[in-house]
Amino acid sequence: MNHLTDNEWEQIVSLYIDGELDADEKTKLEAYLATHPVAAREVEVLRTAKRSLSSKEKLPANDWFWLKLSNRLEGRFSHQPYRHAASKPSIAISTLAVVTFFVIGVIYFKDAPMFHHYFIEKKLQVESVYRNNIMTGNILPLFSNLNNDDVLNFALSGSIAIDSSNNTSLQVKNSDDSGSQIQIIRNEDPSVIPVTMNDFADEIGISHNQREVVDSILGSYKEKLQASVLVSENDEVAIHAELVDLNRAMVSTIAACLEPPQRTRFKRFLDHRKAPYALVAVNSPTVPSHIILNKIPRFSNSNNYVVISPDTVEIAEMTINVDSIREVARRQEMKYRKIITERMVAELTDRQRRMEENFVGMGQNRVRVHSTSGAFQIHFEHSAPVGIPGGMVEMVKPRIPAPEFPRVQFNHVTVVGDSAFSFEIPADDQTVRVFKRLPKGEFRFEIVDSMMREPKMKLMFKSPSAKRDFESRLKEMNEQDEDLMDLDSLLRESELTPEQPAVKLKKPGKESEVELMM
Amino acid sequence: MAKPAVINIINANIPNEQKSDDALIMLFQSGEQEVFRYLVERYREKVRNVIFSIFNDADQVDDISQEVFIKVFHALPNFRFESSFYTWVYRIAVNKCRDELRKKKVKRFFSFHSFEKTTNTKIENLATTTFDDENIKGVIEESLKKLPEKFRMPIILKDIDGMSYDEIADVLDCEVGTVKSRLSRGRTMLREILMPILV
C-alpha cells in the first residue's frame, strides 16, 4: 500500500467502505490497516460517517402530497375548493387582544375618538388573522369513501368508524331534553356487528322498488354526511352542526317509505339493536317515493360549522360545494383517516386538555368542546334539527336514557282476579293502590303514598297479554316464597327477554310512569 | 433504445398500483394521465427524502418535491425508457436541488460571513461536547453540508439513499469512474473535517 498515490489510496479506502473491493485487495488493505493505526483511524472515521448517514432519519410521510400536487397540476392554485365565506370570530386570543388594547387605550389614550379608531383597527386585524387562517390549505371530507352500508349503519347506530383498525369512531347522540353531542372516541365496542343493506332488506321485508328508494335515500344523505365532517391540512376538523340530527332524519325518512307492517318490523329492528331512535308513528300513511326523494334537502339551510383547531374553537360559516366534495371523494384514496386518528385527534385532544373546556356561541345555541384522553366531544345545548323532508311526519324520537328508577321493594303480593293486584310495601309512607281498567284493553296500577295522594309511580299495560305476562311472573315469584321482591329487577328481567315487551320509561312532571309496551 | 415490449403488461388484468413503472408510463403516454398518481405515490417519499438529505430543511422539502413532480409530469410524454424511471426522477430531483442551491448561493453571497460563521460555530461547539450517537450524527451532517455540491451529492446518493455506482452515474449524468473519484475525494474532505473532532 505504501507505493500508492494519495488519490489511489483514497479511492481504495472509499471502495473498501462501500464493500466494493475484491477479496484480494480487501485482504491486503486490512493487513495494512492492522499495522498502521493512523490509517485505521481514518478508515474508521469514514465508516462511522457512512453508518451514520445510512441511518439518517426519514421524513414523516406526507399523505396530502398527491392531493396538493393534483390540485396544482389541474391549475387549482388560485382557489380553495370548498371554503368560501368567512367566519364569525369569537375566540379567546382575540378577546385577550381586545382587552389588552382596551387597557392600553384607557391608560394611554385620553382622546376617545382616537382610542376608538385604534381599538377598532386592531380588533379587525386580529379578527382578520384568524378569519384568514381557518381551514386553510386543502380541505377534505373525513368520510370520503362511504358506501350505503356505512351510511345505513350510521343511521341505525349514530356511529361511524373513522379508522376501523384503531376502533376510533365518530358518534352522535341526541335527546330532546339534554341537547346533543358529537364525540370522536377510541375503543368503540368491537363486538358490534355492522348491518348490511341485505340484512335490513331481509328483516324488514322490503320490495325491490323499496330497496331502490332506500338506496337513493342513503345516497342523498351520504352526500350530506360527507359534507358534514371536513378535515384540513392544518390539523383542523370542521363539523357541521346538523350532523347531530342527521341519523334521526335518515331513520325517519326510511320509515316514511315503508308500509305499516314493515314499519312494525323496522321498529323491532331498531329496538333489538337499541338504536338511538325509536319508531313512533307506525301507522302513518306511507309516503310515495317520488315525494320523499324530491324533498330530501340536498343543501343545508345553515352553513355553520364548529371548527376545532390546535389553537382555537370557532364557529365558521362555510359554503361547501358538494359536487367538489364528491369529485375529491372519488379521486381520494389516501389513507388520511389514519392520520386523523393517530395524529390530529391526539393533537386536538391534547390541546383541549390544556384548555379544559371551550365555549362558543352559535346563535342561541351554546357549544361546548371538551376533551378527555384520546377523545373529544362537542356538546350542543340544543339540538340542531336537520328537519324532516317537507310534508312528512316525524316518525322517530330519541330513546331516552333510562332515568334513575325508584327502587321499590315489597314483601307480599296478591293477585286478585283478572285485573287487580295487592301489594304491601314496607316503607312507612307508601302503599299501593292497584289496578285501573282503562279503555282499549289497557291496565294500570299505581304506587301512592299512605295519604293516597298523587301516584308516585304508574305501571301501564298496553294490552291484556302484557298484563297476564306480568301477573304470571309475580305468581312465580310468590311461589318461590321470596320475602322481598324487587320490582325494578322484575322489570329489567322483562326487558332482557326479547320475546317480552320492552320497558319504556317516561317522566311526566314529578311522577314516574312505566309503560310495558308490546 | 427502442421502447420495451410492455404492451402485454399494460393490457394485463392487474390493478394499476401493481403495474410496473414502464407499464404505467406507457399508459400515461397513451393518454391515461390518471396513472401518474401511482408513480407519484411510489416515489414521492424517496424524492422527499433525497431533497431533505440535500437541504436538511424539512420546510423546503414539499415545495421542491412538488416542483419536481410537476416537471416529471410535463416531461413524461418524452420519456424514452433509456434509463429507469427511478433514476430519471432522481436526476430531475437532483437537478432541481442544484438550481435551488444556486439560488441560495446568490443569496449567500450577500451574507457569506454570517453563514460560514454559523456553520463553523455549530461544528466547533459540537467539538467541545461529549459525543453520543445523536451528537455524532449532527456533526457528520453538518460536516457533509460543508462539502462542495459535486462531492456532496454522490455521498448523499450512495450513503443515505443506498444507490449503486451505476445508478448514481445515471442520476448525475456522468461516468461511473467519475462517481468513484468524486466519492473518494468527497470522503477524504469529510474525513479531514471529522478527524480533529471525532478522534
Same domain, yes or no: A413 and A368: no
**Residues A410 and A424: beta-carbon distance below 8 Å:** yes
Q: What is the mean pLDDT of residues B125-145?
A: 69
**Residues B107 and B42: beta-carbon distance below 8 Å:** no
Same domain, yes or no: A368 and A440: no
Query: Is the Cα dihedral A467, A469, A470, A476 positive or negative?
Result: positive
**Residues A278 and A174: beta-carbon distance below 8 Å:** no
For residue B175, give the C-alpha cell: 461516468
Same domain, yes or no: A150 and A282: yes
- Asked if residue A105 is part of any domain, the answer here is no
At residue A502, the pLDDT reads: 34
pLDDT at A208 over 80: yes
The reply to whether residue B162 touches residue A54, judged by beta carbons under 8 angstroms, is: yes
A484-505: per-residue pLDDT in tens?
445 555 555 443 333 333 333 3
Same domain, yes or no: A146 and A255: yes
Cell 353531542 locates to: A181
**Residues B86 and B43: beta-carbon distance below 8 Å:** yes
Same domain, yes or no: A324 and A377: yes
Q: Which of A142-156, A177-191, A203-217 has the lowest mean pLDDT?
A: A177-191
pLDDT at A441 over 60: no
Per-domain residue ranges for chain B?
42-198
Out of B36, B44, B160, closest to residue A56 by CB: B160
Kind of pairing between the strands at A313-317 and A139-141: unpaired
At residue A394, the pLDDT reads: 72
Shortest Cα distance, chain B CAs vs residue A61, angstroms: 7
Q: Which domain holds residue A382?
A: 139-396
Class of domain B42-198: mainly alpha
State the Cα–Cα distance between residues A305 and A313, nearest whole angstrom.
10
Same domain, yes or no: A305 and A332: yes
At residue B96, the pLDDT reads: 92
The reply to whether residue B199 touches residue A62, judged by beta carbons under 8 angstroms, is: no
- Asked if residue A301 is part of any domain, the answer here is yes
DSSP-based three-state secondary structure for A398: strand
**Residues A393 and A284: beta-carbon distance below 8 Å:** yes
Which of A277, A246, A177 shows the shortest CA–CA distance to A389? A246
**Residues A361 and A367: beta-carbon distance below 8 Å:** yes
- Asked if residue A31 is part of any domain, the answer here is yes
Which of B64, B47, B162, B151 shows the shortest CA–CA distance to B104? B64
Q: What is the mean pLDDT of residues A24-43?
A: 90
Best of B159, B164, B194 to disrupt the A interface by mutation (most A CBs within 10 Å)?
A: B159
Residue A420 — left, alpha, or beta (φ > 0 → left; ψ -120 to 50 → alpha)?
A: beta
The count of domains in chain A is 3
State the Cα–Cα distance between residues A67 and A332, nearest whole angstrom.
8
Which of B7, B4, B137 shows the shortest CA–CA distance to B80? B4
State the Cα–Cα distance between residues A173 and A182, nearest whole angstrom.
6
DSSP alpha helix (H) spans, A435-501:
464-479, 487-496
Q: Is B164 on the interface with A (CB under 8 A)?
A: no
Instruction: Give me the DSSP letters along A203-235.
Output: HHT--HHHHHHHHHHHHHHHHHHHHHEEEETTT
Same domain, yes or no: A214 and A295: yes
What percentage of chain A carries pLDDT values higher than 90? 6
Which of A267, A236, A253 shows the shortest CA–CA distance to A376? A236
Q: Is B93 on the interface with A (CB under 8 A)?
A: no
Query: Does an H or E element contain A376, and which?
Result: strand A375-380
Which of A286, A209, A218 shows the shortest CA–CA distance to A255? A286
For residue A210, give the C-alpha cell: 323499496
**Residues A43 and A17: beta-carbon distance below 8 Å:** yes
State the Cα–Cα distance between residues B45 and B40, nearest whole angstrom.
9
Q: Is B17 on the interface with A (CB under 8 A)?
A: no
pLDDT at A295 over 90: no
Same domain, yes or no: A433 and A324: no
Residue type at A432?
A: V
For residue A477, name the pLDDT band (cuts at 50, 70, 90): low
Chain centroid, CA A85 distance in Å: 25
Which of A179, A175, A239, A246 shows the shortest CA–CA distance to A380? A179
- Asked if residue A87 is part of any domain, the answer here is no
Cell 364525540 locates to: A183
- Asked if residue A116 is part of any domain, the answer here is no
Same domain, yes or no: A210 and A281: yes
Same domain, yes or no: A383 and A414: no
pLDDT at A377 over 60: yes
- Asked if residue A420 is part of any domain, the answer here is yes
Same domain, yes or no: A441 and A368: no
Shortest Cα distance, chain B CAs vs residue A219, angstroms: 26
Out of A7, A50, A62, closest to residue B159 by CB: A50
For residue B181, give the C-alpha cell: 473519484
> What is the helix, strand, coil percentage profile of chain A, to 5?
45, 20, 35
ipTM of the complex: 0.81
**Residues B109 and B101: beta-carbon distance below 8 Å:** no
Residue type at A302?
A: S
Same domain, yes or no: A196 and A307: yes
Q: Which of A97-106, A261-270, B12-21 has the lowest mean pLDDT?
A: A97-106
